[in-house]
Structure 1
Amino acid sequence: MDTRKTTGRLGMYLKKHAGEYLLGIAILLSIDYLNLFIPQFTGEITDGLTAHTINSAGISSTVWKLVGCAFLLAVGRFRYRQFIIGTSRKIERSMQNDIFGKLETLSRRYFNLNKTGDLMAYFTNDLEAIREAIGWSVVSAVDALVLTLMCLYRMMVYVNVRLTLYVLAPMICIGFYGFFIFKQFDKSYEMKQDAFAKLSDEVQESVSAERVIKAFVQEEKQLEHFKEANERNRQINLKLVRLRAYAWPVLEVFIGVAYVIAILVGGYYTLINVITLGKFVTFASYVGTMVWPMLAFGDCINTFTLGYAGVKRINKVFAEVPEITDSENPDDVRKLSGEIEFDHVSFKYSDDLPEALHDLDFTIKKGETFAIMGRTGAGKTSTVNLITRIYDVTDGEIRLDGHPIKQIPLGVLRENIAYVPQDNFLFSETLKQNISFGKQDATMDEIIEACRMADIHDNISEFPLKYETMVGERGVTLSGGQKQRASIARALLKDSPILIMDDSLSAVDTDTEDTILANLKKLREGKTTIMIAHRVSTVQNADHILVLDDGNTVEYGTYDELMARDGEFARMVRKQQLEKQLAREQEV
């Protein structure tokens, strides 16, 4: 990726705030120009005192000029920081919003292939580096370039051309050195960002899996994994420290040489009356004025390189093409009734993998309760993922209310589906906020009613803060059954024409299951409900049952029809009945 392509997107953000940004740079340039008068005034007063040609009024006038310059410099510095640094913060915020928005458009496959640590690094290290590059580094770069050139011009015109050329030699070396060191930093900074992302991912994964790690007594092994990631991060950062430690002293040597030349040659020129003492003071002051910009130039190289690496990483996110998108000419659909047709549907997760689903052909009528059963890995979740368009079919077609699913706008499709996922994910918020997630304007009465239907209201009422109880990260403060029922309540509150429950009753006891199923039968009358289950008791009242095995349809029919066939479903029923009987006998 060439430099123009890499920085092109950043240029778009800068263009949006061009007015503020350019105003800040204009003020900065004015400040740099104003800086030039302080050495000049100092030199003039020195010459006046030396030649006894200045009186107290002249001294007072010069002092007031210096005070005026100092005041204007203070005001100007505040204003350019407000415009340039403030704009860099606005751009950082805009990029954060756009990256988050972009991530929301990407498919499940992208998140399967990219770790959380990498994604978090975009919002932290990468954007911080970009903000610094377009903020303070711009200030430093303008100072390093413009103020230095202004100083050199004034030194040539106002003091002495030859003396200025002597000082200029080491300054030119700084430019060549900066170009060389930029290449060294570029690769190292990319490695630094990658190492930080991996370290972040290691921490995030370990914290999330804390209970599993302890349950399997794997603390030491996990600590070793962290130490390895941490050591790699340390080594890469140490390499950067060495580069910085090498870069700064060399820059200081060049600056020091320029200063020594100014003192030695300038002092000699003063002694032989080529320049006056006042001009020597002015010249030395100009060289001193250039010291900070030259030192800042080294930091600019570091920061611009880090920002450039951040832009390259973030561009990879923006370059991702969403796999699941709206049709260019979608059907005019706003509301779905709930009829779903699978027309010889096949699906594979990638071209190099075997089919996860093969030639599924069935219809779910509006208002039906439809159950999907099968062993682990049979393709149950894959089937419902196609209905919500988490993935698209490989062959065949899915139709909802007669509309090809790809012709239905994604927003409309998902708005008409309530989904209880297998992992029962809850946000680190209150129970009320979690349950009303799909219906933000829900009243408290509606929330309570949904919780009654999910048989969790009584549990919530026992909590000290009731519906304002914080559930912790991923609902860690709740039991497995409570999380499932909270997830069910969230879906019921949405009250969509289609409800999908992915093994959503596995963590509740049979009495609670019976209560929830009875409530669902009343609440979902006339609406389509799809239930994935392992327990036969969950699906025995379903209108139709689809049994899958290895992505293929094994059986399809009503409960009575499948029992009469004495096939795979009947075998599952007998097995679970036997397991129940053995469990009761053991209790006795």
Structure 2
Amino acid sequence: MMKKRPIFKEHFVLHFVLHKWSYLLGTILLTFSLVLQLFVPVLLKKFTDGLQNESIHVSDLWELSLWFIIVGIGAFLFRSSGRIYIFKMSRILERDLRTLLFSHWERLQAEYYQNQRIGNLMAHAVNDVNIMRQIVMQGYFQMVEAAVLISISVFMMASTIHLFLTLLVLLPLPGLTYIAYRFRSKIQMHSLNVQEAIGTLTSRVQEFCSGISVIKTYIQEQEECKKFTNDNQSNVEFNKQLIVSNSLFTSLSQGIVGLSYLISIVFGSILVMKSAISLGDFVAFNTYLSLLIAPIENIGKVINLLQQGKAADNRIRHVLSTEPAIKDEEGITPIISLQGEIRIKNLSFKYQRSKKYALKNINITIPKGTSLAIVGKVGSGKSTLVNLLLRLYNPPKNSIFIDEQDIRDVPLKTLRTSVAYVPQDNFLFSSTIKENIAFDPNPYQDDQVVHAAKQAHIYDDIMDLPHNFETELGERGLSLSGGQRQRVSIARALIKPSPIIIFDDSLSAVDSKTESIILTTLRSEMKSRTSIIISHRISTIQEADQIIVLDQGELVESGTHQCLLKKNGIYKKMFAQQTTDFSFAHSTFPPLNGRKILIKKRRG
């Protein structure tokens, strides 16, 4: 859902309001340095006229030299101080924009990220925000410089030297505005293409790093290199287009500036020869002009930068104007805690981009402190049901209740604090094992972390690692085996004192012996919790208080393990199939069609 809101503009205004005194001080310091620079033409005029009239003495030279030194040091100190204040504010803006962007991403639903490329999100946080920083850092600084130098220089040139010559010199300069107008759309378009190309390139690198094992296994290094080369070349081509536009814009701007210099030299020389102005006036005029030209050129660069900034602004604004679909509704009643009784009533649900229902007319009651097991084929709706219980997706109103309270009326913080979850993909962060287990807003003591690790039967494995619980994990925890990652994820859920705990196929990567030990521990741990277990293994869920079987989104069977075996339905067929598969896996058999078969024993 998209809704246009001036979040980004409001943030800019708020930033300038909060830091107005720093910007004001930076502006004042910069203005002082610019005013001091404008004494240079006056000093040069006095020196040149003195030489021409042969009225200058050695003492005058020392005095002029001293003034040049004072002006130079003063301008340096004031300019440096002004730059520090203004540039420091631009870095603060950069920090705040990234924080705003990241905070907004945290509010968005999981479905948003399924439709986004990681590289594009990274490009928003790095490149787009960096351009916005440059607008403040370079844009604000150069516009202040231009405003002060242009206004005072033009006034001094016109009032103290020659009005008509000033008007002639300024005549070509409005052409810079026309050039900026002509180039604005091209620069904006090329800048947008560059930012998107950077996003694509970043996504390619991220995908390569995540899938390196698969790439090497299937000998796809050369193909991946070709894909990267193509994306990299596209990035180069888009940058070339931007460089061409920028170079043409800069060259034309400099041509107009050169025309002003030509007018100044030609007509200024004529005025000197006619004694309309002195040689000192001529030198001072051209010095003013040199001080004037740089900020005028910078105005063109700022206009150029603003076009790039507009493209970056649109990309960031697009993110910030995306409203989170999962959020607390207005006027919601505060709920401090939940007890854990769950009731699902006539639940039907389909994903936004799907025409087919993922769940159809589901009715389940899970009393507080009991266990529910969910089995079914891949795609039968098991994980969808869990996602709805966690409100990673919004269930229909009046379809899921916790403690007789509609889940849509339970504050998200309360709901997610009350549920411990072991996800199917066993995601671990690239931090220490201790930090992964104690991943919760509430702090945990070391003995609690150790106790959770022992319950998940991962303690001995951790103690075999070089730094025990302080061992740093690699990206996504891939330095651990699949079974170890699952058990760390289980420990992360067990340490959380929540009334509801959910296991989404979280013992699939451990061997049967380890599974039996973990299940024995979990049964005693979960006596006081409402637990939901999703599994493909009957051995994992056969002790549950109730078991349901999902098939194509429908609840087709329910009951205890023994009751379901007597029904001679899908559950019994699954049980029989798994029993047969277990016997088959422990038998010996010859190679098929002359191909060698390698069976890798699962690491727990």
Which of the five TM-score ranges fits, normalised by the shorter chain? Answer: over 0.9
* Residue aligning to 1:307: 309
Q: 2:416 matched to 1:425?
A: no
Aligned to 2:134: 132
Aligned partner of 2:157 among 155, 158, 161? 155
* Partners of 2:8 and 2:320 within 8 A in 1: no
**Contact 2:341 2:403 survives alignment (8 Å):** yes
Contact 1:344 1:395 in 2 (8 A): no
2:550 to 548, 555, 559: 548
Three-state SS of the structure 2 residue aligned to 1:293 is: helix
Match of residue 506 from structure 1? 508
What is the CA–CA distance in structure 1 between the aligned matches of 2:529 and 2:553, rounded to whole Å? Answer: 27
Is contact 2:128–2:313 with CA below 8 Å preserved after alignment?
Answer: yes
1:497 to 496, 499, 506: 499
| CA drift at 1:71 | 1.9
Q: Which residue in the other structure is 2:19 paired with?
A: 17
What is the CA–CA distance in structure 2 between the aligned matches of 1:528 and 1:331, rounded to whole Å?
24
Q: Which residue of 1 aligns with 2:384?
A: 382
Query: Where do residues 205-216 of structure 1 align in structure 2 (5 Å cutoff)?
Result: 205-216=207-218
Give the distance between the partners of 1:273 and 1:465, measured in 2 at CA. Answer: 87
- CA–CA distance in 2 between the matches of 1:498 and 1:260? 81
Give the C-alpha shift of residue 46 in structure 1.
1.8
Taking the TM superposition and a 5 Å limit, the aligned residue runs for 1:430-445 are 430-438=432-440, 441-445=443-447
Deviation at 1:51, TM superposition (A): 1.8
The one of 570, 573, 576 aligned to 1:571: 573
TM-score, structure 1 length as denominator? 0.96
Residue correspondence of structure 1 range 113-132 to structure 2 within 5 A: 113-132=115-134
Amino acid at match of 2:209: V
Alignment-mate amino acid for residue 306 of structure 1: Q
Letter in 2 for 1:140: Q
Measured in 2, the distance between the counterparts of 1:160 and 1:331 equals 76
Greater shift in the superposed pair: 403-412 or 12-21: 12-21
Mapped to 1, the partners of 2:27 and 2:312 lie a distance apart of 23
Q: Which residue of 2 aligns with 1:338?
A: 340
Q: Is 1:81–2:83 an aligned residue pair?
A: yes
Matches within 5 A, 1:34-45: 34-45=36-47
Residues 121-200 of structure 1: pairs in structure 2 closer than 5 A: 121-200=123-202
Deviation at 1:144, TM superposition (A): 3.1
Q: In the aligned structure 1, how far is the partner of 2:386 from the partner of 2:7?
A: 40
For 1:189 and 1:3, locate their aligned partners in 2 and report how far apart those are by CA, in whole Å: 24
Hey, what's the Cα distance between the residues in 2 that align with 1:470 and 1:130?
A: 35
For residues 434 and 50 of structure 2, what CA distance do their matches in structure 1 show?
Answer: 79
Aligned length in residues: 588
Question: Are the aligned partners of 1:118 and 1:198 in contact in 2 as well (CA < 8 Å)?
Answer: yes
The CA RMSD over aligned residues, in Å, is: 2.0
SS in 2 for 1:586: coil
Query: Measured at CA, do residues 445 and 11 of structure 1 come closer, stay the same or move farther in structure 2, by a change above 3 Å?
Result: same
SS of equivalent to 2:547: strand
- In the alignment, the residues of structure 2 paired with residue 503 and residue 303 of structure 1 have an alpha-carbon distance, to the nearest angstrom, of 52
Q: Secondary structure at the match of 1:494?
A: coil
Distance, in Å, in 2 between the alignment partners of 1:356 and 1:28 is: 64
For residues 492-515 of structure 1, the C-alpha deviation after alignment (integer angstroms, 9 at most, x for no partner) is 111211111110000000111111
Structure 2 counterparts to residues 282-297 of structure 1, below 5 A:
282-297=284-299
Deviations 1:50-98 (A, max 9, x none): 2233444444333333222212211111221122111111011011111
Q: Which letter maps to 1:229?
A: D
In structure 2, the CA distance between the partners of 1:176 and 1:245, relative to structure 1 (3 Å rule), is: same
Paired with 1:230 and 1:331, the residues of 2 have a C-alpha distance of 52
**Counterpart pick for 2:106 among 89, 104, 127:** 104
* Cα drift, residue 218 of structure 1: 2.0
2:365 corresponds in structure 1 to 363
Q: CA deviation at 1:395?
A: 6.0
**Deviation, structure 1 residue 440:** 5.1
Structure 1 Cα separation of the partners of residues 416 and 5 of structure 2: 40
2:264 pairs with one of 262, 265, 269: 262
AA at the equivalent of 2:384: S
Partner-residue secondary structure (3-state), 2:453: helix
In the other structure, the counterpart of 1:400 is 402
Return closer, same or farther for 1:273/1:22 CA change in 2, 3 Å cut-off.
Answer: same
State the distance in 1 between where 2:268 and 2:147 align. Answer: 24
What amino acid does structure 2 have at the position aligned with 1:38?
A: V
Query: Aligned partners of 2:427 and 2:4: how far apart in 1?
Result: 41
> Are 1:584 and 2:586 matched, yes or no?
yes
Q: How far, CA to CA, are the matches of 1:470 and 1:477 in structure 2?
A: 9
Please, which runs of 5 or more residues in structure 1 have no aligned partner? none
CA gap 1:240/1:203 in 2 versus in 1, 3 angstroms: same
Q: 2:538 aligns with which of 532, 536, 539?
A: 536
TM-score normalised to the size of structure 2? Answer: 0.94
2:449 alignment counterpart: 447
What is the distance in 1 between the residues matched to 2:555 and 2:293? 77
- The residue identity in structure 1 corresponding to 2:340 is G
CA displacement at 1:459 relative to structure 2: 0.6
Contact 2:432 2:471 in 1 (8 A): yes
* Corresponding letter in the other structure for 1:197: G
Cα distance change, pair 440–216 in 1 and its aligned pair in 2 (3 A): farther
Q: Distance in 2 between matches of 1:411 and 1:399?
A: 16
By how many angstroms is 1:15 displaced? 2.7
- Return the match for 2:523 from 502, 521, 524: 521
Distance in 2 of aligned mates of 1:46 and 1:382: 85
Structure 2: give runs of 5+ residues left out of the alignment: 591-604
CA distance in 2, matches of 1:481, 1:302: 55
In 1: Cα distance, 2:437 partner to 2:558 partner = 34
Alignment-mate amino acid for residue 269 of structure 2:
G
Mean alpha-carbon deviation: is it higher for 7-16 or for 255-264? 7-16
Question: How far apart, CA to CA, are the structure 2 residues paired with 1:526 and 1:352?
Answer: 38
Q: Percent identity at matched positions?
A: 34
State the AA in 1 paired with 2:301: D
Distance 1:121 1:218, change over 3 A: same
Q: Give the Cα–Cα distance (whole angstroms) in 2 for the partners of residues 311 and 21 of structure 1.
A: 22
1:10·1:311 contact (CA, 8 Å) conserved in 2? Answer: no
Instruction: Report the more deviating stretch, 166-175 or 111-120.
Output: 166-175
Give the aligned partner of residue 70 of structure 2: 68
